[in-house]
């Protein structure tokens, strides 16, 4: 029986080699060294290459594990019909409770939206993945029982290689009143997407896209980003003669911040069911009549009543989407009237109440030429 040699191989080569079983037919240390020295290093290198290849195949298999019918390809040509660039993906993932919808875009004579789940569509086993869908947006005027058939591909931009990963299954999808959303709940695993070496998320920026076949290039798109602490984002309103306020509500002056006009709205004796119990406070957009139809604006803001002596302020932070139908947000039960009237809280000093609004984060939506898609 020949000698048994155990050796440990790392990605850098042979680290250790030990002769563990040598028959007692006169073999000495010189024999052991000779056995080791005659090992076929070519076979070791070959084993390493096999291991590396296997790892690459496993990674590729993980990327392709969406559905058995999903086809994944790479190409250098950008999406023909719509692209959605997100500059602050981590903030969007943190702030959005479920999904983010793109603006409406037109392709093949119909209006569509992209719906992105940055943390995965958990209702469809998308946990741990990027989920992306194409949705028919405007079906006004369609006849009962309408159906629209389309073939589409979704895209993710590899910014390092400047090429696009396309995801589709080549099948005709039937959009209808019953089912107007199609896509991929397991489009791309978050572990792969978040790994900068793959090129999909670089500097917290990423690009998704879609093609709906067969359509000429519309060249439309949007660029969504979030800004922190916009210029002029803190505004202070001193409400004098607070005890003499008799109207249901009062407006502050208009403040300019983040290229928009804002104002605070105060209900000194409470609003709706909180009347007589709580002070109600809101932040509102003052110039939304100058916005494009269908506009929306994500805002994280803080409302505050100042403690004028010890800086033990009373404040609440709110995250909301502002729109034409909801152009102000706040709290009906912002602070109890009992707390306001308690002199030890120092909220009312010399019959003066100081109210503040602070814009912490604000969404920005532009086209690819840099023009605002919110303001006219």
Looking at residue 369, its pLDDT comes to 80
Check whether 59 has a pLDDT greater than 60.
no
**Which residue is listed with tokens 């090992």?**
39
pLDDT in tens, 267-325: 999 999 999 999 999 999 998 888 888 899 999 999 999 999 999 999 999 999 999 99
71-225 and 234-363 share one fold: yes
Task: State the Cα–Cα distance between residues 333 and 281, nearest whole angstrom.
Answer: 8
Q: Could you tell me if residue 234 is left (phi over 0), alpha (psi between -120 and 50 degrees) or otherwise beta?
A: beta
Contact by Cβ (8 Å): 68, 186: no
Return the domain boundaries, the chain.
4-64, 71-225, 234-363
Rg (CA), the chain: 31
Residue-averaged pLDDT of the chain? 84
Residue 348, beta-bridge partner list: 353
Looking at residue 70, its pLDDT comes to 84
Looking at residue 42, its pLDDT comes to 54
Check whether 21 has a pLDDT greater than 60.
no
Name which residue leads in pLDDT, 110 or 53: 110
Is pTM beyond 0.95? Reply is: no
Top CATH class of 234-363 equals mainly beta
Top CATH class of 71-225 equals mainly beta
Any residues with CB less than 8 A from the CB of 210 and at least 6 apart, and which?
79, 81, 82, 112, 114, 134, 152, 153, 154, 155
């Amino acid at each position: 029986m020949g000698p048994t040699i155990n050796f440990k191989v790392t990605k850098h080569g042979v680290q250790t080699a030990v002769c563990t079983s040598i028959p007692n037919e006169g073999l000495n240390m010189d024999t052991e060294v000779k056995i080791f020295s005659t090992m076929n290093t070519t076979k070791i290198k070959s084993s390493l290459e096999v291991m590396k290849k296997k790892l690459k195949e496993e990674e590729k298999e993980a990327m392709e594990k969406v559905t058995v019918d999903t086809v994944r390809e790479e190409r250098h040509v950008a999406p023909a019909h719509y692209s959605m660039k997100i500059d602050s993906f981590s903030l969007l993932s943190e702030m959005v409770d479920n999904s983010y919808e793109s603006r409406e875009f037109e392709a093949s004579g119909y209006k569509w939206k992209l719906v992105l789940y940055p943390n995965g569509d958990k209702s469809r086993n998308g946990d741990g993945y990027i989920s992306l869908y194409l949705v028919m947006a405007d079906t006004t005027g369609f006849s009962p029982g309408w159906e629209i058939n389309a073939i589409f591909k979704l895209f993710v931009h590899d910014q390092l290689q400047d090429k696009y990963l396309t995801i589709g299954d080549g099948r005709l999808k039937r959009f209808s009143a019953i089912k107007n959303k199609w896509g991929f709940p397991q489009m791309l695993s978050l572990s792969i997407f978040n790994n900068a070496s793959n090129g999909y998320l670089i500097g917290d920026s990423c690009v998704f896209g879609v093609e709906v076949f067969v359509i000429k290039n519309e060249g439309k798109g949007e660029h969504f980003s979030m800004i922190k602490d916009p210029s002029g984002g803190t505004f202070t309103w001193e409400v004098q003669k607070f005890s003499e306020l008799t109207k249901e509500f009062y407006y502050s002056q208009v403040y300019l911040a983040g290229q928009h006009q804002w104002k605070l709205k105060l209900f000194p004796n409470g609003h709706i069911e909180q009347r007589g119990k709580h002070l109600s406070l809101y932040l509102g957009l003052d110039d939304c009549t100058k916005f494009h139809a269908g506009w929306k604006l994500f805002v994280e803001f803080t409302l505050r009543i100042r403690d004028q002596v010890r800086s033990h302020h009373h404040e609440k932070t709110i995250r909301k989407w502002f729109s034409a139908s909801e152009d102000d947000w706040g709290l009906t039960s912002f602070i109890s009237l009992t707390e306001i009237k308690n002199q030890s809280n120092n909220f009312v000093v010399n019959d003066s109440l100081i109210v503040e609004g602070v814009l912490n984060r604000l969404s920005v939506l532009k086209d690819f030429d840099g023009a605002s898609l919110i303001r006219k």
